[in-house]
Amino acid sequence: MKENKIVLVGYMGSGKTTIGKMLSKHLNIKFLDLDTFIEFKEGLPISQIFKERGEVYFRKKEQQYLKELFSVENEFVLSVGGGTPCFGDNMEQILLATSNSIYIKASITELVNRLVHQKNGRPLIANLAVEELPDFIAKHLFERSFFYQKANLIIATDDKSPHDCVAEILGKLV
């Protein structure tokens, strides 16, 4: 049943978790977070997995656990990591699993403003200087947008509250 599976994709700091949790409450279905599932399965925080085992290991596990979630869970709002749709066949798997894949879209300016305060604990940007963030995010988002844009629904979040975004999503679910 594709109807009861919703997957949120988008860059780090775009609001996938906040919007996903609110959406799951409205729909009365469970909220899942792929990073949390990876941390649970690996017994380590994401930042430690990157540090101790490297990004390639993380990407392999990310792909494995995404498939596992799709095979064992039937009804969910799932927030995946910012990189998830951009590696291996993950975006194809997402599109196969659901007709409700949603790109939570935020502008570069908005992402920079949010991520300046949330850098630590995010291994891909933790070591960047604040001045380096705008350029890094602009380039990274440009590369990743190709994958995010494949989602069935795109929700622009700038100047909207999470509540407004959820209301918009609810009106557009198929």
Q: Hey, which residues does 76 pair with through a beta bridge?
A: 5
Stretch that binds ligand S3P, among 24-32, 100-108, 120-128, 156-164 (CB under 6 A): 120-128
- Within 127-166, the residues that bind ligand S3P by CB under 6 A are none
Between CA 31 and CA 24 the distance in angstroms is 6
User: In angstroms, rounded to a whole number, what is the distance separating the alpha carbons of residues 17 and 23?
Assistant: 10
Least distance in angstroms from the C-beta of 39 to ligand S3P: 10
- The answer to whether the CB of 38 falls within 8 A of the CB of 61 is yes
What are the φ/ψ torsions at residue 119 (nearest 5 degrees)? -65, -45
Nearer to ligand S3P, 5 or 62 (CB): 62
Q: How far is the CB of 94 from ligand S3P (least distance, A)?
A: 14
Choose which of 65, 82, 100, 151 interacts with ligand S3P (CB under 6 A): 82
**Taking the complex as a whole, how short is the minimal distance between the CB of residue 92 and ligand S3P, in angstroms?**
18
Q: Sign (positive/negative) of CA torsion 41, 45, 46, 49?
A: negative
- Pick the binder of ligand S3P from 32, 81, 97, 101 (CB under 6 A): 81
Contact with ligand S3P (CB under 6 A) among 8, 83, 98, 147: 83
Quote the least distance from Cβ 163 to ligand S3P, whole Å: 20
Q: By CB under 6 A, name the one of 88, 123, 134, 162 that touches ligand S3P.
A: 123
Q: Exposure of 42 by Cβ count < 10 A (0-12 exposed, 13-18 middle, 19+ buried)?
A: middle
79 φ/ψ angles, rounded to the nearest 5 degrees = -100, 125
Question: Is position 45 an interface residue for ligand S3P (rule: CB under 6 A)?
Answer: no
| Of positions 29, 95, 124, 128, contacts ligand S3P by CB under 6 A | 124
Contacting residues toward ligand S3P, per CB under 6 A: 12, 35, 46, 81-83, 122-124
